[in-house]
Amino acid sequence: MSSDIDLLGRAPVWRDYLTLLAREDLSFDHPPPLRGPAERTDAMRRAIDLLWSAFACQNISWIGFYEKTSGQDEMTLACREPKPACSPIGLHGMCGRGWQEKRPIIIADVATLGANYIACDPKDRSELVIPCIDDDGECWGVLDADSYETGAFDEHDAQGMTKLLIALGLTHKAMLIERPMRL
């Protein structure tokens, strides 16, 4: 285990999601109705803009949404910051696994994943995947965050990003009870 990973699985940086939600007057306690496909683009863009502006200086190197491509075993990049990434991607990677299992995934060290890791940026060392669930319980896509630091994400990040997605109508409130998978 790398010396920069806390033995309790805490990230080295604590990101203040509740202040971000309050500043933007967003509530995960009383979220808007879940958005349909036609309404998602603006909400995804807002989520990316908020997360990037608040936390890019706190060990996040990239953040974006991948949407499941209908009828295909792949996902397509919908929006992101700050640079382009692989698209489309297969379902064998962590975004695909998060989509299939409908469960957040915290990857402390992407080097441990072998063939199950899709390396869009060879400098990335850790990743967080948050599935986005609609009213029917179907996963339509994922939020993907990367960092150049090993162990950059923890359960606090998974819960905080999920709360933002709920407040923007991008995922179901039931996602708050899903305990993240740690890899």
Mean pLDDT of each 10-residue bin along the chain, 183 residues long: 49 87 92 86 96 92 96 95 90 93 95 83 92 94 96 95 96 88 91
pLDDT at 10: 67
C-beta atoms surrounding 56 within 10 Å: 14
pTM flag (> 0.85): yes
For the chain, the domains span 17-147
Residue 75 and residue 97 in contact, taking contact as beta carbons nearer than 8 Å: no
pLDDT at 1: 39
Residues in the chain: 183
Residue 6 and residue 108 in contact, taking contact as beta carbons nearer than 8 Å: no
Residue 35 and residue 170 in contact, taking contact as beta carbons nearer than 8 Å: yes
pLDDT at 110: 93
**CATH number for region 17-147:** 3.30.450.40
pLDDT at 128: 97
pLDDT at 55: 93
